[in-house]
Amino acid sequence: MRKKIILTCKSVIFNSPGDETSFFEWIKRIPSVVKFDGVHDELYLYIKSIIIPDDDLRELIGLFDRYKINMKQLALFLNENNNEWFYGRPKGYWHKKVFGTNKSDNQSMKT
């Protein structure tokens, strides 16, 4: 049985009705997001697989950064195929937000 991959977007703040529309349109354009729904102030993104294309991961990084969604949950997508660019670029704008700054924590994330 495959484990469900669900990302949580909590208390997302939109700056305008158009911003909210853009947010949902962005989600719909990410092929690895198979569906989404929500309860109260949480939106759940259901992801197709633990292994997703680099382009989809980059879109999730951009979406989560733009809307200030907890990016630590994206660390679960780290694998040997994306390790070089996803984890291996500590100066990437996403790196600290996803992997933190504690070196011992980072060592446990490497694959």
Q: Which residue has the higher pLDDT, 60 or 111?
A: 60
Tokens 């694959």 label which residue? 111
List all residues 6 or more positions away from 43 whose beta carbon is below 8 Å from its beta carbon.
8, 9, 10, 12, 36, 37
pTM of the full predicted structure?
0.88
3-state secondary structure of 100: coil
109 is written with which tokens? 């994330």
Task: For residues 72-82, give the mean pLDDT.
Answer: 97
Place of tokens 């853009």: 22
* pLDDT exceeds 70 at position 76: yes
Give the pLDDT score at 66.
97
Domain boundaries, the chain: 5-109
**pLDDT at residue 11 is higher than 60:** yes
pLDDT for 31-46, tens place per residue? 999 999 999 999 999 9
Intra-chain end-to-end CA distance of the chain, in Å: 23
